[in-house]
Amino acid sequence: TGQVSVHYFGHYNWGLCTARFGELNDFFVQWLDEGLPVQLIGVGKDSHLSALGNWVNSNDAPVCGDTSPFTTWSAWDASQRDLFILDYEGNVVFHENISSGLPSNLNSLIYELVDAIPDDSILGDTNNDGVLNVLDVVTIVNLVLNNNYDESADMNVDGTLNVLDVVLLVNLVLD
């Protein structure tokens, strides 16, 4: 599966740029704690590397310094304090200058983009090895016998695990 990518362009040595990156980092930590596939990347300029500590000392997100003539900034058509958000396919779905503050819908936008990431799992692949085989059949039988539930084993998606799910999986494995 992919991830949502948040890119922030700013100057390491400007207080407002540092403050915005810190605010974004607070969201980033929250998203990581929730297990969301989101990456925050700070993009500064190498001419300000002496102030890099302003962004990295108390933040968890990776930061990079674009070298002169700042081709990354140019390629993104970025200005100071620009925020770009990319969906799991790498498409820019949000671009805004955040000098006046973070967008009020930032969290909901991130959740919406994460929800749009397709689930690459295979129904019945209980050990997540990407293949339906006898190992999955053994696992589903054990789940049924122990009266346990695993969504990936619920072959007919009826909310319960029983012999019908085992039969459906066996038929798929034999095909």
How many angstroms separate the CA atoms of 12 and 19, rounded? 10
CB-CB contact of 115 with 109 (8 Å): no
pLDDT in tens, 53-91: 888 888 888 899 999 999 999 999 999 999 999 998 889
- pTM for this model (two decimals): 0.69
Label the pairing between strands 4-9 and 38-45.
parallel
User: How many other C-beta atoms are found inside a 10 Å radius of the C-beta of residue 174?
Assistant: 7
Q: pLDDT digits over 100-139, tens only?
A: 999 999 999 999 999 998 877 788 888 878 889 999 999 9
